[in-house]
Structure 1
Amino acid sequence: KRLAGVRARERLGAGLFAEIDGHEVRIGNVQGVGCLAEWASEGAEELARHGRTPVLLTVDGRVELLLGLGDPLRPDAQDTLLRLVDLGYDLAVLSGDHPATVEALVRQTGVEFVLALGGVTPEQKLEYVEQWVKERPVVMVGDGVNDAAALSAASVGVAVHGGAEASLQAADVFATRPGLTPVWRLIEGSRRSLGVVRRNLVFSLVYNAVGATLALAGVLNPLIAALLMPLSSLTVVTSSFRSRSFKT
């Protein structure tokens, strides 16, 4: 039937809260619901151990429904994470999901993480990222509303395909394709671009230093030096054009 007089609100990292026909209804995670009956608490733990995120429906504080939601590990996840580790990156997971769910997910990847935390609020994610940024560059990858603040605070924020609007607005980069492979290609391409920039800088410095030395020594007359000067810029532009950094 059609419900009248519904007043609903969302609390980040907790779930949805509404008043329906005089009853308080909540749909959210364990942290958002609060104190649970024994059967609900045990059921939530069991779901989390199997890699599912427990979602509860309560009416006037009583649990009426317990669901386990989850997504399978993406096929490219393990390969992408291993490549990042090989490049020397430290990996960390900050998730609002149940800690046992995060632990099960990390086990599936077979990759070593320096930190893997569940039950993390949006505020806590922001605190972690702000602390890390003080020590080193940080790449934050996220797709939810809860990630928006942390994405904005990171050195580079990456919003993935299918993410919430808030995360897209907060991120510096948007991956238009699903999976983690675009994240790897972004990092790989960025490193390659930095290498091209450094190479061009070294070439320009050496070229100009040699040219200036020859001109001062009288080996090159001013006209030839003036003609050779644009050649440096042309060489740099050609080198950059031929060195495609990002694969499509």
Structure 2
Amino acid sequence: LPTVLLDDIAGRLLLYDVAEYIRLRAACKEWRNCTDDPRAGGGLDCRFRPRRWIMLSNRTEGDGRRFLNDSTGASACVDLPELSRHHLETSTEGLLLLRGKARRRKRMDAIRVENRLKECRWNLIQVFEVNVAGKRLVPVEDIGRHRAVFVGEAACFSLSARTFPCVAGNAVHLGATGARYPPVGVRYLADKSADPPFEFTTDGPASPDEPLKCLQEYLVWLNLVPLARPCTLQEYLVCCAGLPGGLKD
């Protein structure tokens, strides 16, 4: 291909996502020589940051992590050895915010968190659009029947309900919060109706002396698992949005 045409194709691919650009460079050596290397510059060039990708789980054994493209439905497993020594806090603009793991596990005050959530009221969920120029929030009554929003303490992201037909569109899905559940699981914006939250359990073995409820209170790091296998995509995503560790694979 002529260099001008190759540059035009590469630029169009980068407008969408760097994954397609990497596939273009992998086609042949000449194309790699004619295009910019994404590894140059220490990853500071925003053109080469992956967009529209979310990590499904932070509790997978080993260095491999599964990523999902929220626009196309494509998935990819990527080796991230850094995550064996760090916790993923959040991701933005194609970057991962990592926190170093503590040498000792610290007990979290789960009771305080649970009480605070119990006192919260979820009578109304409002969606706002950010007007950057006007520096204000604009209420939105409808986000479109082909759009779904997941909101949680760990992450917030939007999916195409057309690409993922099993996910309800024009709705806000609340992230999982651990052993206790928010009163609302899915809020439908069109008719203001709501579905109950998804329910999960933990993989810790309960004994007659230590029932599961006690384990959930004191061993808060136990992995969440769905009540039935296989889990649905919505169950997976509400855990990704609500819990730093996601859902146990």
TM range (shorter): under 0.3
TM-score (norm 1): 0.23
Higher-Rg structure is 1
> Is the helix fraction higher in 1 or 2?
1
Structure possessing the higher relative contact order (Cα contacts under 8 Å, 6 or more residues apart): 2
More strand by proportion, 1 or 2? 2
* TM-score normalised by the chain length of structure 2: 0.23
